[in-house]
A and B are shown apart, each in its own frame.
Chain A
Amino acid sequence: MRSPSALPYGVLRFDPTGRRHLFVCDRPTARVPVGDVPATFDSWTVTGDAPENGSFGRKFQSSEHLLEALSEKLSKARVGLRVYAAGSESFLVEIARITDRYGLCAQEAAFEEPMDGAVPVLCIHCKTRFACETGAFATCPGCGRHLEVRTHFSRREGAYMGVAEPQAAAS
């Protein structure tokens, strides 16, 4: 069971009360939301160096490009927009930081269960943020400490807390 502080992941479902819908994902294989498909919805996909990869909608070479475009769009967005996000946890937490910054609430920004295991970690000692592939322990690329990755998540930081613990040093 996920920590109560984690993002509220769930099955993406089109919200019929929305007026405009945007689906963002970091890979072409992500599934669109379930439910009645709205007459029009936009889809943004990170396709990397393979832009002809069978996806539709707007394509981005990297997550960073997509995130920048999302910031730009939300800074001018009117009421009625719904954003649906799918991808790795690192991708999803960055989407959440942007939707939070522009004042979207839970009904307006929804997040699919993360699609792969890498989690974003914040080293509480030197504040370096990095992706941890391996689960419960990590070495901080900033200060070199051996960290235990706790299940406590900060939405504002977009990361789980990494703390240098004695048993981590031993592993």
Chain B
Amino acid sequence: MNTGWDAIVERVERPSPRLLQIDVRTQGATFPPVSPGSHAVLAFGDASHRWKNAYSIVARSDDGRCLRFVVRLATPSRGGSRFLHDLATAGMSLRVASITNLFPIVHTARRHVMVSAGVGITPFLAYCASFQAEGSDYALHHVCRPDELDAFAALLPGGVRDRTTFHTRRDAFDLKTFLVEEPIAARLYTCGPDAFVAAVTDAATSVGFARAKIHVERFAAPETGRAFTVELARSGRRIAVEAEQSLLEALEAANVDAPSLCRGGACGQCAVAVCAGTPDHRDHFLTAAEREAGNVILTCVSRAISDTLVLDL
């Protein structure tokens, strides 16, 4: 059973004031080869606060000992990106807790069209490196602020700039004029904030893209919400879940052995049985029937409608 890799920050670069490129070197076993679209959960922090956040893997070094990430300073930030932006420096310890791919390339597609905004470009940096190496047909559309265009362009792997169109207005409307020309065999991938992804999906659907050919990676950080109490049925322990904290984070802070993997509500590994109370489902994994039944919850992103939730832990 893989329990992650102890690592240190090898190198930090700042392509723009709000973008941090961070290279992480393993202190133990090498990182396995990584399929494009994979993300890693990084565990880092200091004595006062620990974070576990998921970041797309931009690249892996040939010798397998380094992984590269790009982190955007998020606002509002739950603190993780602020911590890294302010304090990440060569030699800082952290842990790569896991590597998973929830956003893989569709290998049978004849053409790949990617549309991203802001730091949503990160999985596509890995995608495009692979497309270049394989000689695949692809196009990248990236939406960003005009003052960040050069920074994002500098992140593109070799040969990719020629196939990239930058859009400096957050306006999905002109996307339609590109999308309508796409061949029927094209697959569309999009990544970025929820509202952006929804706009891209709408634009694609309006020109006739089939729903199954639109592939979305949601960069979900668990949302804040109402504070509530979780009770562990097996021990009777009661734990307070703060407004700013996810249910999973509250359990971990209380040293409860709760399962997790992607920490973004997409993989189902953190599912726990609900004995009492009403879950507030915010995940992308459970079926409608499972949500309805209310007897399971994904702790990494979901919360409670009732004041108390009793879990089978």
Contacts and interface: CB of A to CB of B under 8 A. Distances in A.
Interface in A17-52: 17-20
Interface of B, secondary structure class, is loop
A102 B207 contact: no
B185 A102 contact: yes
Interface string A61-105: 000000000000010111111000000000000000000001111
Interface of A, secondary structure class, is loop
Interface of A: 17-20, 74, 76-81, 102-108
Nearest to A81: B184
Given A102-B184, A103-B110, A79 B212 contact: no
B210 A107 contact: yes
A78 B111 CA distance: 12
A79 B207 contact: yes
A108 B209 CA distance: 9
Contacts of B110: 103
B76 interface: no
Give the interface size class of chain B: 10 to 19
A107 B211 contact: yes
A19 B207 contact: yes
A99 to B, nearest CB: 9
B5 to A, nearest CB: 38
Interface in B108-157: 108-110
Contacts of B108: 103
Nearest to B186: A79
B10 interface: no
A18 B212 CA distance: 13
B185 A78 contact: no
18 contacts: A17-B208, A17-B211, A19-B207, A19-B208, A76-B183, A77-B183, A79-B180, A79-B182, A79-B209, A80-B184, A80-B207, A80-B208, A103-B110, A104-B184, A105-B213, A107-B211, A107-B212, A108-B210
Nearest to B106: A103
Contacts of A102: 184-185
B62 interface: no
